[in-house]
Amino acid sequence: MLKIITPFLLLISSNLIAQNDIPEQKKLEEVVITGQYKPQSIKNSVHQIRVITKDRIIKQGAINLQTVLSNELNIRFTQDAATGGSDITMMGMKGQNVKILIDGLPMVGRQGTSNEININQIDINTIERIEIVEGPMAVIYGADALAGVINIITKKNKSDKLSVYARLQEETVGKEYGITNGIHNQSIGLDWRKKNWEIGGNIAHNFFGGWKDTAIERELVWHKKDQIMSSGYIGYRKNKFSARYRIDGLDEIITNPANFNVFPNQISGDYYAGDQQYITNRQMHQLQSSYNFSNALNAQLQSSFTDYSRQVYSTILSKQTGKESLDMGTGKQTLIKFTGFTFRGMVNYKLSKIISLQPGVDINLDRGEGERLNAGKNKVDDYAFFLTSEITPTSKLNIRPGIRFIKNSIYNAPPLVTSLNAKYSFTNKLDFRVSYARGFRSPSLRELYFNFFDANHQIIGNPNLKAETSHSFTSSLNWNKTTAKQMEISFVLNGFYNNVKNLIDYAIDAADPNIYMLANVTDSKTAGTSFSSSAKYKRWNITLGGAYTGFYNDFYGTDKSLPTLQWSPEINSNIGYSISKIGLDLNLFYKLNGKRPYYATNSNQEIVQATQQSYQLADFTINKKLCKYISLNTGVRNIFDVNRLTSNYTAGGIHTANNGRSIATGRGYFVGININLEKK
C-alpha cells in the first residue's frame, strides 16, 4: 500500500500527508488540503473551499496576489497612501480578520503575527494554488480568521525531474513607463527531485516605479516599491517518513519622495526635501514532516520561525549640492521587529470505518519590540489543544465536530472554541454543506502594547484586551455535471452570517480624557450571499458569479433606528477561449464592485447616508505558446481606467480629508515572457 503513497505525494503540499485510501482524482487542481485530514478533492471536502490555480494566475499575467484576488467575490482592496501597502477587505471585514497562511503556517506582518499581512509581499512565482476558506477555521488554525483563511500552497515538482523556470514581465503603471518608472519584474528558479530527495529555489525582483499621476516635482501619488523575494527548500522522503524545510525571504524598500521646500532655509539658503523609505525584511523558515505508523495512524509536525523587521529611514536631500543626508530629527529613524514561532503537531487516527479522530497541539509564540510599542520585548504566548473528529455514518454524510482549548499568556482568549461542519450528498452531482464555527481574533501585539505619545496625541495599547469573538454560520449548495459531450457545468450557492462581539477599537481612557486607548468597545455583524457558476465547453471556459454583502453600519450602535447592515452587490466573470492546437489563450477577467452605502455625520451633527461609488475592474490577456519551453503573454490591465473612488460626502476634521479611496493606478498594459525548461 505504501508504494501508492509516493506518487500521490508528488501532487500535494507536504504539510499533510496522504493516507492509503486515496481518492480517485481526475484533475490535480481539484485537490485541496486546507483543514483536511488528508488531501481531498474539493468535492469531498467538508469545507467549502475556493481554489485559484497557478494556471489561472498565469492566464491573468498577474504579478502580485492583489491582481488575482481583486477578481474574487467578497474580496476588495484599497491602497494605503501612507505606507504604500494594500489593505484587504474580505466578507465585509477588515484585513486583520483574514488569516494568511503559507503551506498552512501563519505569516508575520507589520502588526505582528497574522494580522494585516500585506498580501503583495508574497512571491507569486512560487505559488501552486491558493485555497480560500470562508469562515473562522479557528479550531485548527487558531485566531484571526473571523472572515476566512487564505492558504497559499507553494509549488513542488510532481515527478522525478529537473525544471528551471524564468519569467520577465514589463508593465505600465497607468500611462507611465520608463527605466525609472513602470513595472519591471524578473524571476528565476528551479525545482529538482529524484528518488527520495527534492530541492529547489527561486529568486524574484519586482520593481514598481511608483505612480506620479497628478503629483508634481518629486512627489508620487503611489510610493515606489522595490522587492527582492527568494525561497529555497529541501525535502526528503522514504517509506513512512517525509520531511521538508523551506525558507522564504523578503527584502522590500518602499520609497516616498517629497518635494523641495518652496522657500529656502533661512540659515543655509538651500532648499531641502525630506524623503522616507520603509524597509521591510522577513525571513520565514518552515519545517514540516510526517510519519505513517499504519494505515490508520499518522502523525504530522509543522513548525515555522519568522523574523520580521520594518525600518523607517528618513533622509534629507539638498537641492543645491544634491547631497543626501541622514535625517536626525525626532521619530525620523525607527525600527520595529517581530518574531513569530509556530508549532503544530497532529495525529490522524482512524478509529473505525465511521469515525476518525485528529487530536493536535498548536503553539504560537510572538515577540515584538520597537517604535510605538512599549519599551523592551513584548510577548504573547499562546498554547492550544484541539480535537476534531470525522464521522461518516453513510457515504453521503460527513460530520466534523471540533473543539479547541486555549491558554494565552496575556489576553483573555475564549477558553474553548467549537465548530461543527457537515456535508450531505444528495446525489453525486449535488452536495450541501453547512457549518457553524466560533471564531476569535486575538489582540495583536500592537493593540496590546501600542505606545504613541507626541505633543497632541497620546495613544496606548491595552494589555487587558479580550479577544474579539464571533459566531459564524455558512452554508453552500454545489451542483456539477459533466455531460457526454465533454461539457462541464457547476453551480454554487453560498450564504454566510457573522456576529462579532467585543470588537477592538479606540476609546477614551476613563481615567484620563487625554489618553486614547484600545478597548473592546462594540459588536458587529456581517452577512452575505453569493453564487458562482462555471461552464467548460470545447474551447470556451466561462465563469459567472455574483455576491450581495452586508457591511456593518458603525452608526447602528448610536441610533438603533438605522439599518444594521448596508448592502453592496458584486458581479464577477471570467471568459476564456483557448485554441490548444496553436497554444493560444484569450481571457477576460471582470469584476464589478457595486456601490456601497454607508453612514457618516455631517457638520450639523446629523447622521447622513453617503455612498461610495461602484467600480469595475477588468483585465484582458493573451497567452501564446511560442514553443515547448517559451510562452509570451500580453494584455490590458484595468480596462475601465479606475484610480480613486470619490464619495459623495467627506467628513470634516483636523487632518485634511483624503480625496477618495485609492483603488488602482488606471489603465495599463503589460507584456511578459515565461520560460520553462524540463528534463526528466
Is position 266 an interface residue for other proteins (rule: CB under 8 A)? yes
Pick from 296, 305, 306, 208: which is nearest to 252 by CA?
Answer: 208
Angstrom distance (rounded) from CA 383 to CA 416: 12
Binding other proteins by CB under 8 A: which of 216, 269, 376, 581?
Answer: 269
Angstrom distance (rounded) from CA 63 to CA 127: 11
Binding other proteins by CB under 8 A: which of 508, 521, 579, 626?
Answer: 508
Residue (281 or 412) nearer to other proteins, CB: 281
Is position 652 an interface residue for other proteins (rule: CB under 8 A)? yes
Angstrom distance (rounded) from CA 582 to CA 37: 41
Interactions with other proteins, residue window 193-252 (CB under 8 A): 199-201, 203, 228, 230-232, 234, 247, 249, 251
Is position 521 an interface residue for other proteins (rule: CB under 8 A)? no
Residue (34 or 314) nearer to other proteins, CB: 314
Is position 680 an interface residue for other proteins (rule: CB under 8 A)? no
Query: Concatenated DSSP letters for 496-538?
Result: EEEEEEEEEEEEE-TT-TT-EEEEEEEEEEEEEEEEEEEEEET
Write down the least CB distance from residue 176 to other proteins, Å: 19
Pick from 80, 85, 79, 113: which is nearest to 99 by CA?
Answer: 113
Angstrom distance (rounded) from CA 515 to CA 537: 63
Is position 515 an interface residue for other proteins (rule: CB under 8 A)? yes
Strand partners for 139: none
Pick from 158, 157, 229, 163: which is nearest to 190 by CA?
Answer: 163
Pick from 188, 191, 130: which is nearest to 674 by CA?
Answer: 188
Is position 601 an interface residue for other proteins (rule: CB under 8 A)? yes
Using DSSP, state whether 124 is helix, strand or coil.
helix
Cβ–Cβ < 8 Å for 317, 267: no
Is position 639 an interface residue for other proteins (rule: CB under 8 A)? no
Residue (164 or 422) nearer to other proteins, CB: 164
Residue (252 or 369) nearer to other proteins, CB: 252
Write down the least CB distance from residue 10 to other proteins, Å: 18
Residue (73 or 258) nearer to other proteins, CB: 258
Which cell numbers hold the place of 223?
A: 510610493
Binding other proteins by CB under 8 A: which of 190, 430, 562, 586?
Answer: 190
Interactions with other proteins, residue window 49-88 (CB under 8 A): 81-82
- Residue at grid coordinates 457526454: 484
Is position 328 an interface residue for other proteins (rule: CB under 8 A)? yes
Size of the site for other proteins (CB under 8 A): 80
Residue (410 or 519) nearer to other proteins, CB: 519
Cβ–Cβ < 8 Å for 44, 124: no
Residue (24 or 606) nearer to other proteins, CB: 606
For the chain, count helices (H), then strands (E). Answer: 5, 41
Is position 125 an interface residue for other proteins (rule: CB under 8 A)? no
Write down the least CB distance from residue 89 to other proteins, Å: 17
Buried b (16+ CB within 10 A) or exposed e, 405-414: ebebebbebb
Residues 414-453: x where in contact with other proteins by CB under 8 A, - otherwise, as a string: ---------------------------------------x
Angstrom distance (rounded) from CA 477 to CA 475: 7
Binding other proteins by CB under 8 A: which of 456, 483, 486, 580?
Answer: 456
Residue (351 or 657) nearer to other proteins, CB: 657
Interacting span for other proteins (CB under 8 A) from 13-21, 276-284, 494-502, 549-557: 276-284
